[in-house]
Every structure is written in C-alpha cells, then in structure tokens.
Structure 1
Amino acid sequence: MAPVFSHGDLRLYLLNLLDEGPRHGYDIMQALSDRTGGTYTPSAGTIYPRLAKLEEEGLVTKTVDGRKTVYAITEAGHAEVQARAGELEGIEAGLADSVRLIADEVRGSVREAMKSLRADLAAASREERAATPQDPREDDPRVLAREQLQRADASVNEFRARVRSDLRTHVARGGDLAATVVDELVGELDRIARDVTRALRG
C-alpha cells in the first residue's frame, strides 16, 4: 500500500496538530494513529526528528513539563498552517481514502476466505459422493464418517489459521479493523454453520 503521507505532508500535518493546541510527543503519535484510522502508527524515530527540525525553523517551541516535553506552535508556524489550508484539505481527503482502502482490503480478504471455504466444502461433498470403496473398512459408515470429520476439521482449522494470521498481521502493521468487517465475518460464518447444519439433517 502507498505511504499514508506523501513527501512533506507529515511536516505540515504535525504543524496542523500543534495548531490545535500544545501536545507532548506520545500524544502527537497517538493523534496521528487516531486521525488515520490506525493505518499509520509512527515511531518516535520518525516524529521527534521532524519536531526538532520544526523547532530549528522557528515554527515550534518545546518546554519540559515534568517528565514530558510539550511542543507548541509559534506565530510563524500558525501562519504557515493558515497559508497552506488548501494543502491540508487535500491531506485530510487522502487520509480518508487510505482508511477506506484498508477497510476494503480486509473485507476483500474475508470474502475470498469465505469463498475458498465454501469451495472446499463443496469439493469434499462431491468427492464423498463419488468415492468408490477401496477396502472392506470403507464399507463401515462409521469409518467413513470419521475420515470425513477429520477432513472437515482440517479445512476449518486451515481457514481459521489463515484468517487469524491475515487479521493479526494487518492490525500489527497499524491497519484499522472496522466493526463492519468483523460483523460481516461473523455473519458469513454463522450462515455457513447454518448451511452445514441443514446439510447434515438432510
């Protein structure tokens, strides 16, 4: 996925955050994560050098408040924010697009996983109907049932592991996980469970 902030945009966005009021470093990083819907979680190594540069340019001041360093915008910094208001609107629109894009990616992954699971279950059902007994054990319905149960378990476990890994990796990378995406996942799983129950009852 493309970077959330294009070259130079983060600098202006930091000024914009400080134009809203003084903030300490962690508060700035948290605000960036919140404003981007979790799609961008900057490190201290990214933020503090930029704040130091803004201070050198006379756009920001810093004061020590106990164990925290609080940053505040200067008149020159405020003037730059006002002068570049149009650019800020473009940045905000880009952030909104990034949040929508990551949500669409997660929804797409869930749909593909559901589609794959349904295909696996359908293929297993077809193979079961077409299977020809190879040895006397396969004439025993209990043996056949246990074998198919093992296949179903393996398929469900594989699906669970794949989706769980995708979701955890996405969130660990700072991605947003919207409630609507989880609702869709839960709804699809519930629907598949009902389909399986109906099929078992024949």
Structure 2
Amino acid sequence: MTPLDILSSAGTGLGAGLALIIAIGAQNAFVLRQGLRGEHVGLVVLVCMLSDAVLIAAGIFGIGEVLRAVPAVVVVIRLAGAAFLLAYGVLAAKRALRPGTLTAGAEQGALGRKAVLATALTLTWLNPHVYLDTVLLLGTLANQHGGLRWWFGAGAVLGSVLWFSALGFGARLLRQIFARPGAWRVLDGVIAVVMVLLAVRMAFAF
C-alpha cells in the first residue's frame, strides 16, 4: 500500500460520493431551503454530514452486501424510496402552485431548533433512497478496494462534508434572488419535477 494507492482510493471515494450526493433530493432541498432562510444551518449541515459518515461506514462494514443478498429487501426499499420521493415531489408541487407558501421573509415564521433537527433526521434516515445509494452502492464500491476500502470511505465522507457545507453555508449568496416569492415557486417547481422523475426511475428500474 503506497501513498499513491491511498490517494487514488480516497480520490475515487470523493468522486463517487459527490456524484451520488449532489443529485437533487429531499435532503439537499431541505439543506438549501434552510441555507436560504438562514435558520439553524450549522445544525442541519452537521446532521447530514454525520449521518452520511455513519451510513458510509455501515456500507463498508458489509451491510450493503447483506441487503444485496436478499433481493426482496432491496425491492421493498426501492418501492418505499419511490413512494418517499413522490410524496416529497407532491409537497413541492403544492408549494409551487400556491403563491406565498414559502419565501425568505420572516412572515413565514422560523422553524424551531427541535423541528429543524427532526426534519433533517427524518429526511435522512427515513428516506429509503439513501440506503440504496449510500449504504448499498457506496459500500459495494468501497469494498472493491480491498484493504484500501476505508480510504475510499474517507474520500466519500469528505465529499459529503464539502457538499453539505457548500450547499448550506453558500446558499446565502442566493438570498437576494430568493427574496422574491416567484423564485421560491420556480425552485419548488424544479424540485417537484426532479422528485417525480427520480421516483419513477426508482420504481421501474434499478
């Protein structure tokens, strides 16, 4: 095991992690929304990063292989994930179709710390999609690196740290744009379309 081998595995993990995390999802949408509103951003980012680290570690420990060995479980997770994404897409569509349901203004009311924490945990741990991507897929890719699998995992965790930090704390750069209710409606419209497409893809193909 040479430093170059370690760097290569970590770099591959970083790329794989970012490729899976960056795709628009319910968790990312929530992080972005909290970043734009400036509400408990650090808490949300921390929850997402730590959760990803635990899930990636679980995949490397072999839980992903256990899931793959029981096809029926994977099917159930896949269908549950499709339902989860579809439901989130419907909620986003309702917000997009109702002017004023979400803006960056204070009139919408700030979510309390407990509510934000509960939502972040729910969108992470009760989202079946995360078990397919983070545990099963990343875990499988990591274990293909043999003795370097934990360096691959470290790279994937770094990708999570970089992405959620950029998404949550960088969102403030867009606050001026999202001061207009119309911008929120466009964002939620895009999220709704993407969620529905992902739900369909997950339901009929894996």
Relative to its length, the structure with more strand (as a share) is 1
TM-score (norm 2): 0.30
Q: Which has the higher contact order (CA 8 A, sep 6+)?
A: 2
For the pair shown, which has the larger CA radius of gyration, 1 or 2? 1
**Structure with greater helix share of residues:** 2
